[in-house]
Amino acid sequence: MLTFAENSKDMNTEEKKRRGRPSTGVTTVDIHYKMSSDLFSALPSDVKRNTYINDAVRAKMKEDGYI
């Protein structure tokens, strides 16, 4: 068996590469939500759905005293 010292690296001295997409600092949680079709059709297409739903849930949670 041939090994070349100049090509072999010691894993203890080499820092492991990080895999995946770097963290962006966004603190969101993905949930699955099925909106009723009548509500979906009434929602204008120029409105950002996630923002609209978050604002509505936040207002209701404040009203109910959760936050």
Residue 14 has a pLDDT of: 65
What distance in Å separates the CA atoms of residue 51 and residue 29, rounded to the nearest whole number? 14
15-45 residue pLDDT tens: 778 788 777 877 888 899 999 999 999 999 9
**3-state SS record for 2-30:** CCCCCCCCCCCCCCCCCCCCCCCCCCCCC
Residue 57 has a pLDDT of: 96
